[in-house]
Amino acid sequence: MANSQIVGTLDSWEANAAFWDAGMGANGNEYWNLLQKPYLQKLIPVDEEHPERTRILDLATGNGMASRFLARRGASLVATDGSKEMLKYCRQRCAEEGATGMQFQELDVTKPEDFESLLASPLAVGGFDVVLINMAIMDIETLEPLADALPKLLKPNGMCVNGSWDCVVALMLRN
């Protein structure tokens, strides 16, 4: 995409997906490794006996850093991003790593219709234990579609985990 065609946040991610993927590489930067990964490890419980039964929806997955980390723990992941290019890098990184238990879907979190089509698809059947959005919420123009979709996406006792610049927080949203 030419710079002159960039009109919104997602367009700039689409145009800079290769740069982001090259910068983060397979294993992430110091920020990811020293801060976010340990907190996501603590906050997101994965069923020890049947890890594949822990179902996680990763929104704005980028090159799949958090998804691949959670897939290595055995969880089942649906990795989504609003950028086609970014999702392409995510798929590539997953394939290189031999990540199993991964499914992929293009999803722009500002679009209610994208949540509706995910909810109507086999990917969302049974709901998710965790909806994760890591290092993306601060860029997103509106959070209303996400707020409306969360109760439908989550299983009872499911939680939403948000990793941002200064914190990683989990909110229990359904009981």
Ligand X SMILES: C[S@@+](CC[C@H](N)C(=O)[O-])C[C@H]1O[C@@H](n2cnc3c(N)ncnc32)[C@H](O)[C@@H]1O
Binding residues vs ligand X (CB under 6 A): 9-10, 13, 60-62, 65-66, 81-83, 86, 108-110, 134-136, 139-140
CB closer to ligand X, 76 vs 134: 134
Which among 102, 147, 154 has a CA at the least distance from the CA of 131? 154
Please identify the residue of the shown chain whose CB is closest to the bound ligand X. Answer: 62
CA trace torsion 21, 24, 25, 29 (10° rounding): 180
Write down the least CB distance from residue 163 to ligand X, Å: 7
User: What token pair was written down for 69?
Assistant: 């980390």
Distance in Å from the first CA to the final CA of the chain: 44
Write down the least CB distance from residue 126 to ligand X, Å: 23
Distance CA 135, CA 150 (A): 18
Write down the least CB distance from residue 173 to ligand X, Å: 19
CB closer to ligand X, 23 vs 126: 23
Distance CA 46, CA 43 (A): 10
CB closer to ligand X, 142 vs 157: 142
CB closer to ligand X, 21 vs 129: 21
Residue appearing with tokens 């234990």: 129
